[in-house]
Amino acid sequence: MTDDPAAKARRLIACLDLTDLSDTSSQADVAALCERAVTPEGRVAAICIWPRFVAFAAERLDPAIRIATVVNFPAGEDDVAATCDETRRAVADGAHEIDLVIAHSRLPVDPGFVTAQVAAVKDACGGALLKTILETGELADAATIRLACRAALEGGADFLKTSTGKRPVAATPASARLLMEAAAGAGRPVGVKPAGGIRSFEDAAAYADLAEAILGPGGATPARFRLGASGVLADLLAVARGERRPAAGAAY
């Protein structure tokens, strides 16, 4: 990415999945999120919201911005049929992207279950993009994260996503690197989404630089790179405008 901070901040805004997955989220909050998604410095890539708000957002959001929603969230249970039903309803309501929490607790003993889970949800997506949330902060080590990546990719995942943002450990540069390396070696275009704990321009830029280095030129573009965050937009806007920066926002 460019070394000019203002230009880099604008490119990061374009890769942002602006998120509200708070337990108290309301229609009013989602309406405000839709408004925030269109900024004087450009649009975000997507908003990420609870499934119950997808139809509401579809009536209000700038059509150039995608709607992402979460399924099997946040626990990552193993009821595949229920998750597929949830996915189909969300797509019918207008979701363009599905962020699936895999059954990460089953990985060490039954990675094939995760592959089958991802494949089933991928089928339920129809034409929607499937991002798989691996919950890397809950996985034991790098080998288990690689196993999660392999299971998700074999199931047909379009994106590998680090975290729900609901656990003590969310995205880290080390976990993001493992996901990017897996995506780079997938043999097909696969994206990566660091999510949770991204609070500043510097946080976001470090992940984008990593994507460019590992995924190759153009790796830090919305087609292959997203940032899952709720509180970083204000800081990115301040950098883009050359303004005094606010305190870093809270992670979701």
Spatial separation of the C-alpha atoms in residues 239 and 176, rounded to whole Å:
24
**Per-residue H/E/C for 105-170:** HHCCCCHHHHHHHHHHHHHHHCCCEEEEECCHHHCCCHHHHHHHHHHHHHCCCCEEECCCCCCCCC
User: Which amino acid appears at position 59 of this protein?
Assistant: E
- Residue tagged active-site, from 99, 158, 203, 235: 99
Q: What residues contact 82, with CB distance under 8 A and at least 6 apart?
A: none
Whole-angstrom Cα distance, residue 170 to residue 179? Answer: 13
* Residue 166 among the catalytic residues: no
99 is catalytic: yes
- Nearest residue to 162 via CA among 107, 114, 222, 99: 99
Distance CA 54, CA 210 (A): 32
Which of 8, 122, 131, 161 is the catalytic position?
161
Chain Cα centroid distance, residue 168: 17
Phi, psi (5° rounding) for residue 130? -110, 115
Residues annotated as catalytic (active site), given as ranges: 99, 161, 193
